[in-house]
Amino acid sequence: MQEAHAAAQAVPPRVGHWAPNAYICGTRGITVGRGGRRRGAAGEPRTVTEDRTKGLDVAHIARRVGQFPGYPLANIPRRKRELIAAGVDVIDVGAGDPVEPPPRVASEALTEALRDPAMSKYGFQLGLPAFREAVVRYHQRRFGTAFDPMAEVLPLIGSKEGLAHFALATTNPGDVVIVPEPGYQCYIGGAIASGAEARIAPLRPEADFLIELGELPASVLRRISLVYLNYPNNPTAAIAPRDYLERTVAVCREYGIALAYDNPYVEITYDGYRAPSIFEIEGAREVAVEFHSCSKSFTVTGWRLGWAIGNRELIAALTTVKSYHDTGPFLAVQKAGAALLDHAEDVVAEVRERLTVRRDAAVAALTAAGFEVQSPRATLYLWVPLPEGLKSADFQRMALEEEGVVVMAGSGFGASGEGFFRIALTVGEDRLAEAAERMGRVLARA
Ligand code: PMP
């Protein structure tokens, strides 16, 4: 664990080590600024550039667009559609998007809310007070923590946007943001958009995939304004022991670092493990905002509903930023979210039961197929090591093109994810077993 973090390194200006699919959505082929200034139709000056490859004028593209690493899921949906159209029986265990419908309590609440014209109005950042109150009730029941629904909670259009916007609310250009790698992409996205310096903190198996902030030099710690942490972790499925959270919160308090604790998998746990909220840790309220999501716990990924909760100044800052970017989640969805949260225990018990069966089936089938995989205690992912020398992007490509199985290459989560691939427990046991068998064939051929 000692060196785990000593190694946190600055991302070069163009995030060059994000191979292999970096710059998929970058500016290659577009000559920024070459077209010079031209007059727009209304006589306004407008900067245009020329796409050399197509000879078309395109709007001016900001340099930061080229700094975003390629988004790992960017090309998969299109290729999947093509394969299905060609008659391939595709098994998609790539994105964490379960096949199950939303829980009935949620669909019924949403249907009813749609009949109320008030639910079709702008929600603004206030949103539906009933949703804020249901969030607070849930935290009280589940974690024993008390919050002010108006000042310490903020509805989110899914937790992703909140996490990315949080960097805009907490960092100044040039500040350091700690970005775990492999990790969920919106952390580095937020850091880049805010002009901060993203410092990659590798999550290593030998350090139990934990980031030890205390091992960073004080000179670096003083420059950090924001740390993203996510346990139970996507993609590694790692969990954080309580003493780890305590020492992390202590470092954040000592150096005045904002802590974005990303907790969308808090309910997806197995074998009696109960994942904590960061606010169970003393002092966390001084520095932290926790991000929650209805997506995975409640099987409503596309509804786009989550919430931020925690330190009131940080929540106020995030509210200000979001006021200029969006107008909050659909009120009817917030209404349904409130119903879901009031039934959270029942709903997640079912989800957990289903996922436990899948996890066990997938681990057994992958082991039989020749993979060495550990059974996770949380999340809906298996983080599977590949044999030495087999690149995860190659494995991803072969699994899809040769066997019709969508998986996520570890390198898609950043260079430190190389040597692994991720599968999501989003399909039934039979399909998981079939996917494992097909992946075993890829492994045998590679
Ligand atoms: N954080 C992590 C770690 C995730 O894996 C995801 C979804 N894949 C999110 C945040 C975002 O979830 P949502 O925007 O659907 O709430």
Q: Please give the average per-residue pLDDT across 70-85, as a whole number.
A: 84
Instruction: Give CA separation, 320 vs 169, 261, 324, 325, in Å.
Output: 8, 20, 7, 9
Cβ atoms 125, 324 nearer than 8 A = no
Residue 339 has pLDDT above 50, yes or no: yes
Nearest residue (CA) to ligand 1, atom 11: 160
For residues 263 and 3, what is the distance between their CA atoms, to the nearest angstrom? Answer: 26
Nearest residue (CA) to ligand 1, atom 2: 184
SS (H, E, C) the chain: CCHHHHCCEECCCCCCCCCCCCCCCCCCCEECCCCCEEECCCCCEEEEEEECCCCEEEECCCHHHHHCCCCCCCCHHHHHHHHHHCCCCCEECCCCCCCCCCCHHHHHHHHHHHCCHHHHCCCCCCCCHHHHHHHHHHHHHHHCCCCCCCCCEEEECCHHHHHHHHHHHHCCCCCEEEEEECCCCHHHHHHHHCCCEEEEEECCHHHCCCCCHHHCCHHHHCCEEEEEEECCCCCCCCCCCHHHHHHHHHHHHHHCCEEEEECCCCCCECCCCCCCCHHHCCCHHHCEEEEEECCCCCCCHHHCCEEEEECHHHHHHHHHHHHCCCCCCCHHHHHHHHHHHHCHHHHHHHHHHHHHHHHHHHHHHHHHCCCCCCCCCECCEEEEECCCCCCHHHHHHHHHHHHCEECEEHHHHCHHHCCEEEEECCCCHHHHHHHHHHHHHHHHHC
Is the C-beta atom of 290 inside 6 A of ligand 1? no
Q: Please give the average per-residue pLDDT across 288-317, as a whole number.
A: 97
CA of 327 to the centre of ligand 1 (A): 20
Is the C-beta atom of 189 inside 6 A of ligand 1? no
Residue 43 confidence (pLDDT): 41
Residue 40 confidence (pLDDT): 36
Is the C-beta atom of 160 inside 6 A of ligand 1? yes
Nearest residue (CA) to ligand 1, atom 5: 234
Ligand 1 atom at minimum distance from 230 CA: 3
Q: pLDDT tens digits for 274-293? A: 999 999 999 999 999 999 99
Ligand 1 atom at minimum distance from 292 CA: 16
Q: What count of Cα atoms within 13 Å lies in the side-chain half-sphere of residue 245?
A: 26
CA of 159 to the centre of ligand 1 (A): 6
Instruction: Express as a percent the part of the chain with pLDDT over 70.
Output: 86
Query: Residue 72 — very low, low, confident or very high, per pLDDT cuts 50/70/90?
Result: low
Is the C-beta atom of 379 inside 6 A of ligand 1? no
Q: Please give the average per-residue pLDDT across 389-418, as a whole number.
A: 95
Domains annotated on the chain, with CATH: 26-61 (no CATH), 76-101+348-445 (3.90.1150.10), 104-345 (3.40.640.10)
φ/ψ of residue 276, rounded to 5:
-90, 165
Which of the listed residues 161, 181, 239, 262 should we mutate to test ligand 1's pocket, taking the one with most ligand atoms within 8 A of CB? 262
Query: Residue 58 — very low, low, confident or very high, per pLDDT cuts 50/70/90?
Result: low
Is the C-beta atom of 292 inside 6 A of ligand 1? no
Nearest residue (CA) to ligand 1, atom 10: 160
pTM here?
0.87
Residue 32 confidence (pLDDT): 25
Q: Please give the average per-residue pLDDT across 290-311, as a whole number.
A: 97
Among the residue ranges 2-16, 41-55, 82-96, the one predicted with the least confidence is 2-16
Residue 142 confidence (pLDDT): 98
Nearest residue (CA) to ligand 1, atom 9: 160
Q: Please give the average per-residue pLDDT across 8-18, as a whole number.
A: 35
Q: Please give the average per-residue pLDDT across 21-42, as a whole number.
A: 29
Residue 223 has pLDDT above 70, yes or no: yes
CA of 37 to the centre of ligand 1 (A): 40
CA of 11 to the centre of ligand 1 (A): 23
Cβ atoms 218, 199 nearer than 8 A = no
For residues 340 and 324, what is the distance between their CA atoms, to the nearest angstrom? Answer: 29
Which of the listed residues 165, 184, 334, 423 should we mutate to test ligand 1's pocket, taking the one with most ligand atoms within 8 A of CB? 184
CA of 160 to the centre of ligand 1 (A): 6
Query: Residue 314 — very low, low, confident or very high, per pLDDT cuts 50/70/90?
Result: very high
Residue 77 confidence (pLDDT): 86
Looking up tokens 């004028």, which residue turns up?
Answer: 57
The rounded mean pLDDT for the chain is: 88
Residue 57 confidence (pLDDT): 55
Is the C-beta atom of 293 inside 6 A of ligand 1? yes
Looking up tokens 């960017």, which residue turns up?
Answer: 74
Which of the listed residues 156, 234, 261 should we mutate to test ligand 1's pocket, taking the one with most ligand atoms within 8 A of CB? 234
Ligand 1 atom at minimum distance from 159 CA: 16
Cβ atoms 242, 42 nearer than 8 A = no
